[in-house]
Amino acid sequence: MARTSPTWLPLIVLVALVALVAVPVPAGAQQFGSGPSVRVPAGETRQGDLYAAGELVEMAGRLDGDLVAAGQRIQTTGPIAGDLFAAGRSVDIRGPVGDSTRVVADQPSVDATIDGDLIAAGNQLRLFDGARITGGVLAAGSLVQLDGTVDGDVRAGAGEIIIGGTIGGSATLRADRISLAPGARIDGDLDYRARTPLSPEETARVGGTVRFDEIVDGDESSGVTWGSLLFWGWQTSAALLAGILAIALFRRLVPQLVSVIAENATVGTLLGFAAFLIVPAGAVVAMVTLVGLPVGLAAVLLFVVALYVAKLPVAVWAGAWLLARAGRPGASPYAAMALGTVALYVLFAIPYLGWLIWLVATWLGFGTMVLSGRAYLQTRGAQAVAAP
């Protein structure tokens, strides 16, 4: 199994966030699908963009537009004319994509032609032999294996990187272990950082200049350092302080949010996923115009605040669940928040899985706020109608 020092975790998160905020803003004809499974069968053609969420999202037909998909398992075998954005446990791309592709998954794989860039973050990423990326690749994960063809540049960080195909541009690689298989070729320059240098046979497969920087035990890029521990402690302490203030200010609201999570976790996560995509993209569009600039800036500010506090109701819910299992049901929200926050931030620090847990917790918190706000507006509307 590939081993990666915790230094690569921020890179994985960065690549994941780049993929997330780069999703296109809905425009023109759009279709929405949700449920246990969302399928476009072979022989069927859909016009316009498709937004799909479910345990299984399968694209076997043709889509003349963009595909934005979230689910446990996502598989495409039919052609997609536009962009592809996919977030899930496993994402298997076997049909051609007409534009750039952005993937956040535990096990993303590509065995098709992507007529654009590939941005991918996950545990094990593989570009199969026969696959082709006409643009560049930005990737991070535990294992990055590129056996296909990349016409542009490659930038990757991982525990282990295996190059088995052809890179038409230059490559910037950071990993504990890097290897160039027989038949591999890098036409441009190679700038890499690893624990051991490539063999002379491997460097001979590079057409340009080769630059090597060694990773040694005890340097700042290896292992868990006191600085990383102190940073984790600072983050957790700040979250605990924010949680105490939030519960003190919104004591009545917190139980409602926790109740929403307990009753509608799946729906809340999907709504949070949509909000995570649409809000920053919409804010950027709004800031393009002079009139919309204040609105866009305000939206960005609120989004950043929401990004931070979204994990609070999830922490209270998780802490209450843990306390109930320990024989302390009905504990105070402060105790639940404290235990849940520490538990979440421990999970966030797990290499490779931590970023995915962070995303799910954030999506769930966002969705919970959306559902609670909708319920509040519905209640106010009903009261206004009932009033004489």
pLDDT tens per residue, range 272-283: 777 777 777 666
d(CA 220, CA 303) in angstroms, rounded, equals 33
Provide the mean pLDDT of the chain.
80
Domains held by the chain: number: 2
| Residue range(s) defining the domain that contains residue 134 | 8-214
Domain boundary among 160, 185, 214: 214
Q: Examine residue 187 and state whether it is found in any structural domain, yes or no.
A: yes
Give me the mean pLDDT over the 207-236 stretch: 70
Q: What is the DSSP letter of 296?
A: H
Note whether 209 and 272 are same-domain residues: no
pLDDT value, residue 162: 96
Q: Examine residue 221 and state whether it is found in any structural domain, yes or no.
A: no
Note whether 231 and 207 are same-domain residues: no
| Element spanning 116, H or E | none
Asked if pLDDT for residue 241 goes beyond 70, the answer is yes
Asked if pLDDT for residue 37 goes beyond 70, the answer is yes
Note whether 154 and 251 are same-domain residues: no
Q: Examine residue 140 and state whether it is found in any structural domain, yes or no.
A: yes
Contact 184, 163 (CB under 8 A): yes
pLDDT value, residue 226: 54
Note whether 206 and 267 are same-domain residues: no
Contact 219, 176 (CB under 8 A): no
How many other C-beta atoms lie within 10 A of the C-beta of residue 150?
26
Helix (H, G, I), strand (E, B) or coil at 219: coil
Domain boundary among 181, 214, 247: 214
Note whether 124 and 91 are same-domain residues: yes
pLDDT value, residue 156: 92
Select from 124, 118, 191 the least CA-distant residue to 161. 124
d(CA 32, CA 277) in angstroms, rounded, equals 15
Q: Examine residue 387 and state whether it is found in any structural domain, yes or no.
A: no
Burial tier of 33 (Cβ tally within 10 Å: 0-12, 13-18, 19+): middle
Note whether 153 and 272 are same-domain residues: no
pLDDT value, residue 90: 87
User: What's this model's pTM, rounded to 2 decimal places?
Assistant: 0.59
Residue predicted with more confidence, 23 or 366: 366
Q: Examine residue 388 and state whether it is found in any structural domain, yes or no.
A: no
Domain boundary among 171, 188, 214: 214
